[in-house]
Copies of this chain bind each other. A is one copy, B any other.
């Protein structure tokens, strides 16, 4: 016996308080804990809390007097109130130098980006001016650069072009600001409703592919424009005469038309602007939060995703509503902007978006992620920006569903000199236990996989029985299902287990469960399945189960 004796066995000296469910006549094994039943309301509340408030936004407010709560609330909305108190002249000097440096780099870039969105350059200048002011009051990241970005500009440009001809400048611009307004509303709404987790559904791989695709598209577009221009003008630095400034005085708030525009056209753009705004707003969020998170991790501070969204959204709303007034002032400065310079800026900026290293890493780590990445890339390059995104999201989701539909299963064996049972494919020195088949299921058991899991376990059993027969070994007498990775089970899953139990019963094989988790053990009891197979068939560890059910007779 001692050769098979395991040392992972839980010796039940203390009798866990949670073991009252079980008979008292069982020997020396620590029983599986059945946690005290949670009230339904408490369960629902805690699920909702984890979904929407997992970052505990109200934590600092706890046990504070009312006046302090008001201050904290204002500080939460405007973080400048917190860090502004320590702001001094020497910090301002540093910020001034930093700001001027960034501006000298960002302004030409922003002008280039405005071109991607088919907008006149002054809007770019404007966009690198007002929104950062708003962000300074409300934002939580110290490192993110606020202003137009290449990909969102391109996306906005593409989406707007589908709806209206950019040469119709006034209307086009109105739609652009309406879309910006709704992008802001979308962002604020997501933040306030704490739906920030929705942007997590764009996977890293999808973003890498999307960015690279957008970069290629933008680059090719610029090259084409420049080559066309050169054949006609024979100067690389031809001064642009394309920019016609139409804005003077005729601009208005995004969707409250004045100065001779018909009411109906505004209403028409409202819906289009809403649709475009929602898409552009989500993408803009994804990008800026991804960047913000990278810096936050590097410099070890917390980035509050939901607060970020409110800040970015407010910024876009205020921006969309004030745009023209600012733009008209600075118009003359941008009358002569060299087209070729802009193209060069754009191309050099977007080349940085193609992250070959990341693609190689994705290929190495996960082939399906790579497919999602390539789907986004080719979708953007050959179809359109939105389709590319859609393809990437669809592949990412298909992958999750796939994993839940066809989960991995593994046969476990005992590692030599230990009481640890592990996958015999991962650990070639793990040995199977005579007369017992140990199977691990690597997923929650849900309706989408319950039949597969049942059939797969029976297939392992059939294969093993054939092998046992061929080698004239002890016949399989019990089947141990290691349940550690089974984090949840639903009614279809319980049904599948029942069918498995009945099938095994007919073949005179015991069904034994090892280490069901908290949610699973609850449901095994609630459904009566624990009573059906017998509570003494549920063990804390595989080692316990093997110790109890290994065949006692020696080999014939």
Contact = CB atoms under 8 A, between A and B. Distances in A.
Interface residues of A, number: 108
B54 A406 contact: yes
Interface string A25-46: 0000010011100001001100
B495 A204 contact: yes
A410 B484 CA distance: 13
B490 A487 contact: no
A51 B406 contact: yes
A405 to B, nearest CB: 6
A153 interface: no
A365 B9 contact: no
A320 interface: no
Q: Which of A13, A54, A427, A498 has the most CB of B within 10 A?
A: A427
A416 to B, nearest CB: 5
B400 A14 contact: no
A134 interface: no
Contacts of A55: 455, 459
Contact of A10 (B51, B410, B417, B448): B417
A491 B361 contact: yes
Contact of A490 (B35, B205, B298, B429): B205
A137 interface: no
A528 B429 CA distance: 26
A500 B35 CA distance: 30
B205 A420 contact: no
Contacts of A449: 200
Interface in A398-440: 399-408, 410, 415-420, 422-423, 425-429
Contact of A503 (B11, B297, B415, B446): B297
B488 A487 contact: no
A8 B7 contact: yes
A452 B488 contact: no
Nearest to A294: B499
Interface stretch (A96-104, A216-224, A375-383, A514-522): A514-522
Contacts of A374: none
Contacts of A506: 300
Nearest to A495: B204
Contacts of A400: 400-401, 404, 446, 448
Contacts of A336: none
A21 to B, nearest CB: 13
A404 to B, nearest CB: 6
A491 B418 contact: no
Interface in A446-501: 446-452, 455-456, 459, 484-485, 487-488, 490-492, 494-495, 498-499
A492 B418 contact: no
Nearest to A417: B11
B485 A204 contact: no
B44 A367 contact: yes
28 contacts: A7-B7, A7-B8, A10-B420, A11-B417, A14-B416, A16-B415, A16-B427, A16-B429, A18-B429, A33-B422, A33-B427, A44-B367, A55-B459, A201-B448, A203-B490, A204-B495, A298-B502, A300-B506, A365-B527, A399-B490, A407-B487, A408-B518, A420-B540, A420-B541, A425-B518, A426-B517, A426-B518, A484-B485
Interface of A: 7-14, 16-18, 30, 33-35, 40, 43-44, 47, 50-51, 54-56, 197, 200-206, 293, 297-298, 300, 305, 361-362, 364-369, 396-397, 399-408, 410, 415-420, 422-423, 425-429, 442-444, 446-452, 455-456, 459, 484-485, 487-488, 490-492, 494-495, 498-499, 502-503, 506-507, 517-519, 521, 523, 526-527, 540-541
Given A35-B426, A203-B448, A400-B400, 10 more contacts: A7-B419, A8-B419, A54-B452, A55-B459, A203-B491, A204-B492, A205-B490, A305-B451, A365-B490, A426-B518
